[in-house]
Structure 1
Amino acid sequence: MPDSELMPIGDFARRSGLTSSALRFYADSGLLHPAEVDPASGYRYYTADQMNRATALRRLREISMPLTTVEAVLDAGPEEATRLIDDHVARVLGDAAAARRTAVLIKSSLGDVPGLPIATLKGPVLADAVEQVLTATTREPDLPVLGGVRIETDHEAVTLTATDRYRLSTRTLMPPEPPTTTWAGTVSGDELRAAVAEVRRSALVRVEATAHGIWLRRADREDQYCRLLPQEFPDFRLMLASLPEVTTRVTLSKDGALRALEACGGEQVALHVADHGTEILVGGDEQPAMPLPAAVTGRALDIWFEVTTLYPAVSTAVGPDVMLDLRGPDLPVTIRSADRGDLTTSVMPVHPNPPSEQRRQGTAP
């Protein structure tokens, strides 16, 4: 359709994602006037060259931007528009944080409902553990549980687990005193993330469970509350129990591995592990391989990963060295600290992209 060709308000509404009533409202507000109005019927017509403004208007309203700010953004240049959007988002996030704090105070004032004592943990240790396992979460509207952290206690330890179906991170914490009860629940990852800064400042944090959330209670500081997610957490234990035996084990420098991954130019990276060798080659077909000194036991193996999946798993490992337990090119790889095994991450490999696979097999033209 030519940019100057008129279209009825109903057609323009369908193409722009705005309702006809919204278009009338924005016309009356001066934000988006119709290109032409029939003087007899009052029917409104728009042109295709108004589509960009209509789409931008709809998106700005979707992030709850006030009309006055929307008008300023639509009429501003790119730099000023970017600044106005950033300022608005910062205000929204600040308001959300303030609402969260106020909600905690309101819930505290509703009555002294005692929580079930779960465990007492060192604040900095708990904060580190939360940040480590959160790297394995994701935001999926249809599966909000994948954005949560599973917290489980037995009479010896507290375990934190998160998974986005491609990664599975587990951190085991040993409290100063053994937990007195067993408990399990999936906690909102976003709310745990927001609480981390305050938790880190506390020497000890007492974790208590209620019917709908957990309290992180601290001496002489404001308590933090995090919601429980009602959805069922994935059965990760079944997956772990079904894994075959490790066929290849690689121990290498964490910093060296991260530097190699940072140097990768593509989205995928291959680990070429030599049979009973002392080094592995990190690289894909589009770039020179980077040798990394390593202790290798087991058989030779080539295995591919998405860089965005492998890098966080390596970066969150505790200690200077990481250990990779490999089972095959299409089976999960377990990544853990070589000297401290309380943080474990399982990562799914991928098949190489078809062009790379063809080149490896010598079939590409």
Structure 2
Amino acid sequence: MNDPDLISIGSFAERAGLTASALRYYDDAGVLRPDHVDPLTGYRMYSTCQLAQATQLRQLREIGMALPVVRELFESDAAGASRLIDEQLEKVTNDAFKARDIAAALKDKLNDSPRFVLCELAGPVFAGAVDQILASALDDTADPALNGVHIETEADAISLTATDRYRLATRTLVPLRLPTSPWAGTVAADELRSAVQLIRRSPKVTLEAGDLTLDVRLSGDDVVQCHRLTGTFPDYRSVFASLEPVTHRLILDQRQISSALEHAPEKFGIRVSGFGSSLLLPDSVIALDGAATGPEIRVWFELTTLYPALSHAVGNEVMFELRGPDHPVTVRCADNGDLTTLVMPCRADLL
């Protein structure tokens, strides 16, 4: 044949990122038929317009989709195809979690060190604290410790801390059962994030520490393992201790300011004056409910830096501690323990 739109199986395989043997297999499976088969030689010829489908087939196989499902996807409309892809992603994710747990269990058996019971917490409360802290965790391969949540137990509380260099958040909780002795370690943030839904559904959880992992024992006696990270977590206490003295304190209604910021631009300001405090937006000034102390000042923030600290706040009010327009701002709130977040403002001359 001399049809210029038809190409040999070898050329088509090379352009599609497949092999000729794979294309023959997909033909026999009825997933991707050649456009033409020479009746004398049996040579398979493909049309260039089939390249998009062949590429999609390769990608679907790369995410582990079975051929019967691929065939169903090719016969579906856009909504049906999207549903099948979502179902495959969920399956792959669940398989990965299962493999991770099995690997963790196998590695744990290699480690004969005893487990150390840290404390007992209400599962939904611990899950909520993890959610609040993860907003400040970082995905940074250069500094593994910043990919984690630092957990510490003391005589009367447990604290979780994370930082992405622009925010530093620490959350304390009062356990149902007090820690038996002090402990500190940094655990993988992504593994805690993956475990949150299981933890949230468990009425109680017990934290148990080993040499390599922090185990979260659920009410049904199932165990979620989070690996401890190497590297040194930043000394956040010295960060707080080195801050300049507080010059202004604002106690604001958390719901009001969070609601106002839902439609805020990239950058906005907070002003303190003799009339109280207000939110400075490009086209409006919103008076904020609450109390404010200190002389006239304006501090500017990026929405992506401050809003997570407010959206994860606990209790009805939030306290801002200001130290000047260019100094870190402490955002504090309290309810069954407290949440403290250190937020960097942005420069006014960059607005």
The TM-score bracket by the shorter chain reads 0.7 to 0.9
Aligned to 1:64: 64
2:291 alignment partner, one of 291, 295, 320: 295
Aligned to 2:39: none
Confirm or deny: 8 A CA contact 2:133 2:162 kept in the other structure: yes
State how far apart, in whole Å, the 2-side matches of 1:83 and 1:314 are: 35
Distance 1:23 1:309, change over 3 A: farther
- 1:347 equivalent in alignment to 2:343: yes
Q: Tell me how far 1:293 sits from its aligned partner.
A: 2.1
State how far apart, in whole Å, the 2-side matches of 1:123 and 1:351 are: 41
% identical aligned pairs:
41
Q: Tell me how far 1:316 sits from its aligned partner.
A: 1.5
State how far apart, in whole Å, the 1-side matches of 2:135 and 2:144 are: 15
Q: How does 1:268-347 map to 2 (within 5 A)?
A: 268-283=266-281, 285=282, 287-298=283-294, 299-306=296-303, 308-337=304-333, 342-347=338-343
> Which letter maps to 2:271?
V
Aligned to 1:88: 88
Q: Which moved more, 1:146-155 or 1:111-120?
A: 111-120
- Report Cα offsets for 1:332-354 as digits up to 9, x if no partner: 32211167762111223335796
Distance 1:229 1:8, change over 3 A: farther
State how far apart, in whole Å, the 1-side matches of 2:325 and 2:66 are: 52
Q: Tell me how far 1:251 sits from its aligned partner.
A: 1.4
State how far apart, in whole Å, the 2-side matches of 1:127 and 1:297 are: 35
Confirm or deny: 8 A CA contact 1:205 1:216 kept in the other structure: yes
State how far apart, in whole Å, the 2-side matches of 1:62 and 1:312 are: 35
Q: Tell me how far 1:110 sits from its aligned partner.
A: 7.5
Q: How does 1:199-278 map to 2 (within 5 A)?
A: 199-200=199-200, 202=202, 204-218=204-218, 221-264=221-264, 266=265, 268-278=266-276
Alignment TM-score, normalising by the size of structure 1 = 0.74
Aligned to 2:162: 162
3-state SS of 1:274 partner: strand
After superposition, the CA RMSD in angstroms is: 4.2
Aligned to 2:77: 77
State how far apart, in whole Å, the 2-side matches of 1:13 and 1:186 are: 48
State how far apart, in whole Å, the 1-side matches of 2:90 and 2:310 are: 31
Q: Tell me how far 1:226 sits from its aligned partner.
A: 1.9
State how far apart, in whole Å, the 2-side matches of 1:104 and 1:159 are: 25
Q: Which moved more, 1:289-298 or 1:23-32?
A: 23-32
State how far apart, in whole Å, the 2-side matches of 1:64 and 1:140 are: 28
Q: Which moved more, 1:255-264 or 1:103-112?
A: 103-112
User: Unpaired runs of 5+ in structure 2?
Assistant: 37-42
Q: Tell me how far 1:280 sits from its aligned partner.
A: 0.9
Distance 1:353 1:91, change over 3 A: farther
Distance 1:219 1:74, change over 3 A: closer
- Report Cα offsets for 1:137-182 as digits up to 9, x if no partner: 2445555544421112234432111122222211122335543333
> Which letter maps to 2:252?
L
Distance 1:213 1:294, change over 3 A: same
Q: Tell me how far 1:305 sits from its aligned partner.
A: 1.4
> Which letter maps to 1:258?
S
3-state SS of 1:88 partner: helix
Q: Which moved more, 1:185-194 or 1:315-324?
A: 185-194
State how far apart, in whole Å, the 2-side matches of 1:321 and 1:119 are: 29
State how far apart, in whole Å, the 2-side matches of 1:324 and 1:6 are: 69
State how far apart, in whole Å, the 1-side matches of 2:5 and 2:323 are: 62
3-state SS of 2:314 partner: coil
Confirm or deny: 8 A CA contact 2:10 2:20 kept in the other structure: no
Alignment TM-score, normalising by the size of structure 2 = 0.76
- Report Cα offsets for 1:94-149 as digits up to 9, x if no partner: 33344456567667878975212323334443233222212222445555544421
Q: How does 1:163-182 map to 2 (within 5 A)?
A: 163-176=163-176, 178-182=178-182
> Which letter maps to 1:274?
V
Q: Tell me how far 1:212 sits from its aligned partner.
A: 1.1
- Report Cα offsets for 1:203-262 as digits up to 9, x if no partner: 553322112101223565323322222344344344434332223322111110111011
